[in-house]
Structures are given as C-alpha cells and as structure tokens.
Structure 1
C-alpha cells in the first residue's frame, strides 16, 4: 500500500440518500475505466441502513475532492469512503475519514464555492482500480460545446430506486451567460465564472450525484454542485470549476500522519 501522497498537478496544453444529485441517461461502466471515482457511504444507525450518499474523486492516496454540500447534516463518523469497486456498496477498499476541509467561502444558499477536500485516516494504495485524477492549472479554459464526461452512481429518476452500478454520461459545456440565464429565477444557486455548466438532451445529474467528477483526459475539471429537476432539459447541471481552486486544494491537501506532501508535476496531458 502506498504511504506517500500521489498528488499530481497537471500541466495542460490546452450533487434520496444524498443531499442532492445521480446520473440520468448514463451508460454502465467499470471501475477499471474510472479508477479515480469513489463512493461516500453513510450509515443511518437507527434502521441500520447504509446508503451511497455522494461521490468524489481521488487526487492523491490520502485525499479526495467533492462538494461541501455532500456533508450537510452528516455525522462524519457515520461516513466512509469506498474505492476500487464498480459497486458503491460492496467490494473494493473501505477507509475512514480523518477530516473534511470545506472551502472557507462556501455558502449553501445560494450555492457557491461548493468544494471540499477530504483527508483519509489511512492512505489508499494506487492500483489498476484505484488511481488519481490530475488537477488542472489555474485559468484552464474549456471551450463552449466541449464534450465532458461525468461518472457516478445512482438514481435515474428522483423517485426511482437507488442503483449501485457505476455509470458515465457525456454532457456539453455551455457558456456562463447561458447558464446564468437558465437559473435567473432560481435563488438556490449563484452561477459565476467559478462554475462550469453542461447539458445534453435526456441526460444529466439527479439525486445522489453531489461531488461527481467531470474529467477531460484524466484531468479533474469540475465536480457536481447543483442540479434542478433531473428529468427536464430546461436546466443545465452546475459544476464547480476546479481550476479556480487548484492552489487552495494544493495548500490544504496535506497527508495525515505523514512526511511532506510529495507533490509532483504530471506529464503534459493532451486534450
């Protein structure tokens, strides 16, 4: 098992059980295809039921990034991380959470700066089913219309059963102005240039996908923060724009019982 943080800074050429958000219109995939994705599971002690609450992405053997909103009302000792499994509630490797660092400017309503770094009590070993996503440099641009992939577990409708098999969906990025116009009458979210909004007909996020990673070429470019009406095409999905928070992530992502963070640059990743 790796005991050193594998936190990569990529140099690029170019949100039921969970508080909010799940993949609608997605395709089944395996963890080997997306080894960076992890499930946050939550135990409800009364009925003795464990559910998959939200989603995150590994950025080191010690750390994951997800939404701050994922931890709304949560008792941290009831939550665990499952990595290395296609199934959100079985298999893989389970670790406990040491700490959750929410962004200092996070607000729940209207939703903004919705990002958190999670530190594990013990590090995860890097393998073919457990691996990291690179972090983007500051001010990394994604063109409007660019296809982006999101991977998550979950409901395909707000009243549907909780699914446990990993799925992915491709959405298309839209402009900030278009996204702001779509959410103009919605007080629950504040859309700014710290967001990436994306949509596709008949596809999108739903309950339980909070924190689901958006990736391009193995680079973490966004995480699900907010969705509205998962069975309608009227509203796009709103993601946190990772590059606006890269320096903050690197600053707070320190290993638990460790030596130095051992942060190192990744090779150039082509889009």
Structure 2
C-alpha cells in the first residue's frame, strides 16, 4: 500500500530525528544488544566524518558502500565534502583495527527528504581486498522482499549508544522483527512501500550511531536503518529503507560511478 502523507503524529514523535545535516548528531543505536564476534558481519563498516564514527555502512562490492543518506548530507541530496568522509573496514572495534579507506564519491538518492529515500552510495578511492573479515553482502531482490512477512526476524549490527549513554567500542548485534506496512501505518504513519519497519521491545532497537545499519535476513541486505522515534527504544517501530525498492537506483548509481 503506497501512502503519500506524513502525519502530524509522525512529525511530533520524530522531533529528535536529524534529517539533513551531519553538523548535528544523527540518530540511531542498537539498545541492549550483544557483542558481535570478529568476522560475524564482514560487510559492516564504520562510516566516519571528520575522523569520528557517525554511522554504519554495508559493503555491497569491493568499491561501494551503502548507508543512510542523512549521515552524509549537507543539504538534501547534496553530499558533504568527500574529504571529510572515510570508512573503517575489517574491524568490530569502531576505534581501532582493520583499515581506514578514503572516499572518492558520495551519491545520495535524488529524492531524499522528509524522512524518505534515505539511502546513499559511497565509492571508495581504492577497491577492498576481501578476506574473512571484509566481504560484500548480497542485496535483497523483489522475491526476497515478498518473504518479509510480519514477524520475520532480522539481524541488525552497529555501534550506537547504549542505555547508559556510552558509545560501545565493540560492534553490537540484535534481532528485531518485521512489522507489516499496514501495522506500521497504524502505529506510526509509515506504511510506505519504500520503507521496512521493525518492531522491538521498549529500550531496544536502533539509536544514535546505528544510522545506516544493515537489516539482514539469510545474509541478504533487506534494509538500511534510517531513523527511530523520540529518543529511541520507544514502543514505536524503527524505520529503515527497503533495499529491493531501490534496486534500479543502486545498480544505475554503481554503473555511473564505475564509468566516471
């Protein structure tokens, strides 16, 4: 069901969501998660702005990372300077290990705005060398999307703030559940075809620092974490961008960057 409105309730609940600039802290975290083992999520990277972690990225091929658009946005679909952005790959420690790779280009979805189309493709300056700790994740197809019925368990991993307010050095993992578009519209006004909503218990879910985290089923990327409501961990669902919805844009963006 396509929905073409943003409700007043949505606006009020999302008042803490930063939707346009990395000058303010972006929202996202995994609350009450567990430490991830080294190599368990080899596609996960730390996206860094001005040498500080701001979001999670997901390796989709040796040269490209997918993440949330708002974390690399200066204004709307205009990206911040690539010189400010880098990624740490091959480490579950956001502060050390692996390697830091600089960025060549950033493409934010041209229709990003108003909490929607919150995806971006980052091209790295040099291709990654894959290993047990560095690998790409497959993107979900339309067929995979059809199997995402309500209650489907999904894995999410990130370095978001914990309930204590501390930023974990080690990658955290959690299991959330798919919420149907109908139910997400009822609970939060977000029954859009382009988003995938996730339900969780109170004091669980994503929060600041988990922006861009991959939503994964059977080692396929089905979503990219976008935002949460209020201060995070509320009774309302977390919202992610549905990867299969953007299949054509992702393929076209990668092809264009390879030709540039």
Query: TM-score band (shorter)?
Result: 0.7 to 0.9
Cα shift readout 1:131-157 (whole Å, capped 9, x = no counterpart) = 011012235220110000001112013
Question: Are the aligned partners of 2:205 and 2:233 in contact in 1 as well (CA < 8 Å)?
Answer: no
Q: How does 1:254-269 map to 2 (within 5 A)?
A: 254=255
The structure with the largest helix share of the pair is 2
Change beyond 3 A, Cα 1:242–1:257: closer
Identify the residue that residue 34 of structure 1 maps to in structure 2.
41
Change beyond 3 A, Cα 1:257–1:214: closer
Looking at structure 1, the residues matched to 131 and 193 of structure 2 have their Cα atoms a distance apart, in angstroms, of: 35
Identify the residue that residue 129 of structure 2 maps to in structure 1.
125
Identify the residue that residue 209 of structure 2 maps to in structure 1.
208
Looking at structure 1, the residues matched to 140 and 258 of structure 2 have their Cα atoms a distance apart, in angstroms, of: 26
SS at match of 1:55: strand
Whether 1:182 aligns to 2:155 is no
Give the deviation of 1:75 after TM superposition.
3.8
Identify the residue that residue 83 of structure 2 maps to in structure 1.
77
Looking at structure 2, the residues matched to 104 and 258 of structure 1 have their Cα atoms a distance apart, in angstroms, of: 19
Cα shift readout 1:207-262 (whole Å, capped 9, x = no counterpart) = 11110001111100001011013454321100100001112111111386789xxx
Question: Are the aligned partners of 2:106 and 2:123 in contact in 1 as well (CA < 8 Å)?
Answer: yes
Q: How does 1:1-271 map to 2 (within 5 A)?
A: 18-43=25-50, 50-73=51-74, 74-107=80-113, 110-138=114-142, 140-141=145-146, 142-157=148-163, 160-184=165-189, 191-201=191-201, 202-254=203-255
TM-score w.r.t. the length of structure 1 is 0.79
Q: Judge which range, 175-184 or 142-151, deviates more.
A: 175-184
Looking at structure 1, the residues matched to 54 and 81 of structure 2 have their Cα atoms a distance apart, in angstroms, of: 12
Identify the residue that residue 9 of structure 1 maps to in structure 2.
none
Q: Which runs of 5+ in 1 are unaligned?
A: 1-14, 44-49, 185-189, 260-271
SS at match of 2:52: strand
TM-score w.r.t. the length of structure 2 is 0.82
Question: Are the aligned partners of 2:57 and 2:213 in contact in 1 as well (CA < 8 Å)?
Answer: yes
Give the deviation of 1:18 after TM superposition.
4.3
Cα shift readout 1:35-66 (whole Å, capped 9, x = no counterpart) = 000001122xxxxxx42111110000000111
Looking at structure 2, the residues matched to 95 and 77 of structure 1 have their Cα atoms a distance apart, in angstroms, of: 11
Q: What root-mean-square deviation, in Å, do the aligned CA atoms of Structure 1 and Structure 2 show?
A: 2.2
Task: For CA contacts below 8 A with separation 6 or more, give which structure has more relative contact order.
Answer: 1
Q: Which runs of 5+ in 2 are unaligned?
A: 1-16, 75-79
Question: Are the aligned partners of 1:112 and 1:191 in contact in 2 as well (CA < 8 Å)?
Answer: no
